[in-house]
Amino acid sequence: MLKKAIACLLVLAGVCSFHTSAADSKNEQFVNVNVFNKVYYGTVTKNADAGEAIFTPAGKSADFLQIEGRWDDDAFSGDCVISYKDGESAEVQYKDGLISGKIKETDPDGIFLKYSAIAGKPYKKIKSYSADSKAASVDWFYLCTPISEWKANARSIPYKELTENPYDHVDHPIELEGEVQEIYESTKYAYFKIKDDAGNPYLFRAVTLKTDKFATPCIPNLSVGDRIKIYGVYNGLSEISDSSTILYHRLLGYKKSFDSFKDWIISEDAMKQYSDLVSVTDVEALDSLPEFTTICGEIEDDDTAADPMHLTKDYREICKYPLYYADSKVSVTGKVVYENADAESNNLVMLLSEEGTGHIYSLSMKMKDYVSYLDKKITCSGTFNGNNKIPYCNPNSLSVGYALFPNITVGKIQD
């Protein structure tokens, strides 16, 4: 099923434009149509009374037979159906000439997938269902390709080959097993130093600041000592010390008592000032390592591993597996114990201690008119959206870093 979307995504930067010319009848036009950011030329036949149209691609390059739906202003609009040559079909939504919104792909046996796209690119979760509509499996897109396909295409490359001939393997998916030795945070990424069983070091980076629409790695929040099977796209040899990247320490906020942590919280500006004094010192030790952009990873022999098909909504599971809960609706009641309002970006970040449990959630929202909720009891509703990073300075160890808390994008607040 998804091979249709993936084949179309070979032209990710394609821009959908529609050109019309005279055809054999007044109800036919020669046009081009964008399908998952690949442009196809062909003929559209319109039913003027109903406003419906059928697009038939020219030539044999397309793997679909036709697209049927509403045709407005020389473009498909709203609900449409793509019929493929092998009997599969896709119910899609067009907006501004691009597939955007919810998608349902059905094969001839009735098995179907549900996922979403924006501006012609599929992203986030893929749900698979049996013909009788029972949930069967779940997957995620990474750069518009299912993670299961990334894993199937990944190779294990000897360490010597990666270091001596790095350009031969750049942009290829690689798989690796090893132990997490060190973890650092930058403003946008987390960096994991991993050693394989032969003692060879590797460096993986992963987006951890909330959820990236198209390149969110499916990986739990790791700890030093975790043994992991990890997949990543090879970038070549690392050059951390030569870049402008500043590395900080990382703390999983949900694992620490908030009463002992709250006095450590500092501002982003203070963090930059302190970083010259107490940031990570041995950055050069992270240079010239095989470096990867993380696609996904699984902790091995983990008795607490979450099953994405049967989520428990346990607080520690929410914290450890942020991607599994991304976009899930949530409502939490508790006291606001920290807030930071950024007037320049109109962003408001709060930490809420849940009533009855003391669990800490990060709340993020756009401000219209600033209203302080500090020390107030509120009920907020919204959706989970990855991690939020709270800057801190530990005066005991003289370490500066980010503490990660489960992030809720707030839709509504009641106080």
Of the residues 149, 176, 195, the one at which a domain ends: 149
Give CA–CA dist 299/180, Å, rounded. 10
Q: How many residues does the chain have?
A: 415
Strand ranges (DSSP E) for 85-172? 89-95, 98-99, 101-106, 112-118, 121-129, 135-142, 145-146
CA proximity to 355, closest of 336, 374, 371: 336
Same domain, 215 and 130: no
Taking only the tens place, the pLDDT of each residue in 86-100 is 999 999 999 999 999
Q: Report the chain's terminal Cα–Cα distance, integer Å.
A: 47
Same domain, 131 and 177: no
Of the residues 149, 175, 208, the one at which a domain ends: 149
As a 3-state breakdown, the chain gives helix, strand, coil percent values, each rounded to 5, of: 15, 50, 35
87 found inside a domain: yes
Looking at the structure of the chain, the number of domains it has is 3
Taking only the tens place, the pLDDT of each residue in 317-334 is 999 999 999 999 999 999
**For residue 286, what is the DSSP state?**
G
Strand partners, 218: 296
Taking only the tens place, the pLDDT of each residue in 37-70 is 899 999 999 886 667 899 999 988 788 999 999 9
Same domain, 41 and 104: yes
Confidence at residue 10, expressed as pLDDT on a 0 to 100 scale: 39
Model confidence at 371: pLDDT above 80: yes
For residue 321, the enclosing domain spans 315-414
308 found inside a domain: no
Confidence at residue 318, expressed as pLDDT on a 0 to 100 scale: 96
The residues near 397 (Cβ < 8 Å, ≥ 6 apart) are none
306 found inside a domain: no
Model confidence at 1: pLDDT above 70: no
CA proximity to 97, closest of 83, 118, 76: 76
The band of 281, judged by pLDDT with boundaries at 50, 70 and 90, is low
Same domain, 129 and 160: no
Confidence at residue 74, expressed as pLDDT on a 0 to 100 scale: 85
Confidence at residue 27, expressed as pLDDT on a 0 to 100 scale: 76
350 contacts 373 by C-beta, under 8 angstroms: yes
Same domain, 266 and 126: no
Same domain, 230 and 246: yes
- Written as six digits, the tokens of 394 are 């530990």
The band of 202, judged by pLDDT with boundaries at 50, 70 and 90, is very high
Model confidence at 263: pLDDT above 80: yes
Same domain, 156 and 114: no
Task: Give mean pLDDT, residues 134-162.
Answer: 97
Confidence at residue 47, expressed as pLDDT on a 0 to 100 scale: 81
Taking only the tens place, the pLDDT of each residue in 158-182 is 999 999 999 999 999 999 999 999 9
Same domain, 49 and 120: yes
23 found inside a domain: yes
Compare 304 and 158 and report the one with higher pLDDT.
Answer: 158
> At 203, which CATH number?
2.40.50
Same domain, 87 and 197: no
Model confidence at 12: pLDDT above 70: no
The band of 244, judged by pLDDT with boundaries at 50, 70 and 90, is confident
Using the CB atoms, write b or e for 67-83: b if 16+ within 10 Å. Answer: bbbebeeebbbeebebe
Confidence at residue 2, expressed as pLDDT on a 0 to 100 scale: 63
**For residue 41, what is the DSSP state?**
E
Give CA–CA dist 222/298, Å, rounded. 10
The residues near 285 (Cβ < 8 Å, ≥ 6 apart) are none
Cα-Cα-Cα-Cα torsion 348, 351, 356, 357, nearest 10 degrees, comes to 140
Same domain, 333 and 231: no
194 found inside a domain: yes
Of the residues 266, 299, 332, the one at which a domain ends: 299
Predicted TM-score (pTM) of the model is 0.88
Same domain, 112 and 189: no
pLDDT exceeding 70 applies to what percent of the chain? Answer: 91
> At 390, which CATH number?
2.40.50.140
Give CA–CA dist 255/73, Å, rounded. 55
Model confidence at 399: pLDDT above 60: yes
Task: Give mean pLDDT, residues 301-310.
Answer: 92
Instruction: Indicate the range of 61-65, 138-142, 305-309 predicted with least confidence.
Output: 61-65
70 found inside a domain: yes
120 found inside a domain: yes
Q: What are phi and psi of 6, to 5 degrees?
A: -65, -40
Give CA–CA dist 388/40, Å, rounded. 41
307 found inside a domain: no
202 contacts 290 by C-beta, under 8 angstroms: yes
CA proximity to 117, closest of 130, 138, 131, 98: 98
CA proximity to 229, closest of 163, 159, 287, 301: 301
> At 109, which CATH number?
2.60.450
Same domain, 53 and 166: no
Confidence at residue 383, expressed as pLDDT on a 0 to 100 scale: 96
